[in-house]
């Protein structure tokens, strides 16, 4: 279970977010905190894996809290949940190591997708023994999965993950039919996700000739630049 600390100055909002988290398989809320002081105490005592953090706390700004926790306190991953839309808050949150920045208000499915992508990242990290560029790309790609799905009808994080994993582990072009066969999905579903991955720059397309000499598209994983 991913042990989660919910930090929000509003008791009702914290309770709603905690209820959301507890509905997601693999997550449990171990405490709620309503101030920076309570959050620090909870991190020190309970050592949560993840902190869902509002930025507007009564005794300290959330981003200052994150910086303070990095010095001499147990490590904790941070997902910011806030109404702060200013660019400075977003920039400082990224610089502080926040894994996601989620704007209030949001629906349960939005939070669920973010947490599931975080859980997938943890799973990939836990199985990592020695990194090469491909495995590193897959770890960081887990956090981007929900953002990449924005234009896909009937989106599914797990389906996208299955397609990405297959392509990233294959050193050859694959057609939509081959992806469908190896992942157990329909050809139409595979084609939809492959087309989207190409649109967002995650795969390259080459024209090739399949059985019977018919032209078809072959898809190959493209590592991110830089």
**Structure confidence by residue, pLDDT tens digits, 100-146:** 899 998 888 888 888 988 887 888 777 766 666 666 666 665 555 55
Question: Binning pLDDT at 50, 70 and 90, where does residue 222 land?
Answer: confident
CA–CA distances in Å: residue 80 to residues 12, 53, 112, 189: 18, 5, 14, 33
CATH number at residue 50: 3.40.50.2300
Using the 3D structure, point to which of 107, 139, 170 is the last residue of a domain: 107
Statement to judge: residues 103 and 135 lie in one domain = no
Mean pLDDT value across residues 152-175: 79
Structural domain harbouring 38: 2-107
The first and second tokens of residue 48, run together, are 């949560």
Q: Is the pLDDT reported for residue 172 higher than 50?
A: yes
pLDDT of res. 10: 96
pTM, rounded to two decimals: 0.66
Statement to judge: residues 9 and 98 lie in one domain = yes
Does residue 63 form part of some domain?
Answer: yes
Q: Report the chain's mean pLDDT, rounded to a whole number.
A: 86
């Amino acid at each position: 279970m991913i042990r989660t600390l919910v930090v929000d100055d509003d008791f009702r909002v914290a309770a709603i977010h905690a209820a959301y988290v507890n509905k997601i398989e693999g997550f449990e809320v171990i405490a709620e905190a309503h101030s920076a002081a309570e959050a620090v105490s909870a991190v020190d005592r309970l050592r949560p894996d993840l902190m869902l953090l509002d930025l507007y706390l009564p005794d300290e700004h959330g981003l200052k809290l994150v910086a303070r926790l990095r010095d001499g306190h147990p490590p904790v991953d941070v997902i910011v949940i806030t109404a702060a839309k200013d660019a400075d808050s977003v920039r400082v949150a990224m610089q502080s190591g926040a894994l996601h920045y989620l704007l209030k208000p949001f629906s349960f499915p939005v939070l669920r997708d973010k947490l599931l992508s975080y859980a997938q990242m943890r799973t990939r990290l836990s199985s990592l023994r020695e990194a090469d560029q491909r495995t590193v790309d897959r770890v960081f790609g887990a956090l981007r999965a929900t953002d990449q799905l924005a234009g896909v009808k009937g989106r599914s994080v797990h389906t996208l993950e299955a397609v990405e994993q297959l392509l990233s582990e294959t050193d050859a072009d694959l057609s939509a039919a081959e992806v469908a066969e190896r992942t157990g999905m329909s050809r139409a579903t595979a084609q939809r996700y492959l087309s989207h991955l190409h649109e967002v720059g995650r795969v390259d397309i080459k024209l090739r000739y399949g059985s019977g000499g018919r032209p078809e598209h072959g898809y190959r994983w493209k590592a991110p630049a830089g």
